[in-house]
Structure 1
């Protein structure tokens, strides 16, 4: 079985996996980073969103062999204490209901705010294509605006 060496949450890791193994399963099963969730398995729902070289990627369809020397950040890597500005905005706006999709939503929001620090509602709606079955889209949008208003390091 091939061995892959790459960076996850600023730490060097080495894993053995089949080339076509989705990064999601490497993160969850081999590295015990279970904040990234499995939702649909076809890159549509966004529960598995992580950052790869700073861009949001749906890890359920991203093979470990494609990581190369890239840098992966999961929800666990946003901040040591869970106090990233977007995570804090999620708490302040009481976004989560069931919470299952929230790590993917947060990762997508962080990527959006890095690219567009003061997004409009339309830009948020266009960029955040993750599915929330609980229907917290209005609170998600408010949390993104709150995080944007606080600025700081995203």
Structure 2
């Protein structure tokens, strides 16, 4: 872990993904609060957020908006990724972080079912937590909480 400017790191990641998605989606990055200085594992963070943002893009309709919020709190930093995609069926939500599990409504969208299992391990390696809220036809929000 090293000192990392989280705002700059997240902003750069959003710019990279905006380019790689060929501007087919609008990625919006916002921040709230004052970040404390802390040590972060840049490799783990890159894996967590590039996976969550790539999924948000992949499962959203062309032209959709993906919101990425960074919220600084006293004891932790909250990262929220929200899409306007297809949503995840309630019966799949509990299994989503298990290896090789994919939601039943993904159709022909490619994927291995490993991404979120690895993301959860990376979040836990940082001492954090990950959760999701999803509504079919409206989209999904992943919330990652990482302590300073």
- The structure in which a higher percent of residues are helix is 1
Same-fold call, TM > 0.5?
no
- Normalization by structure 1: what TM-score? 0.29
- Normalization by structure 2: what TM-score? 0.30
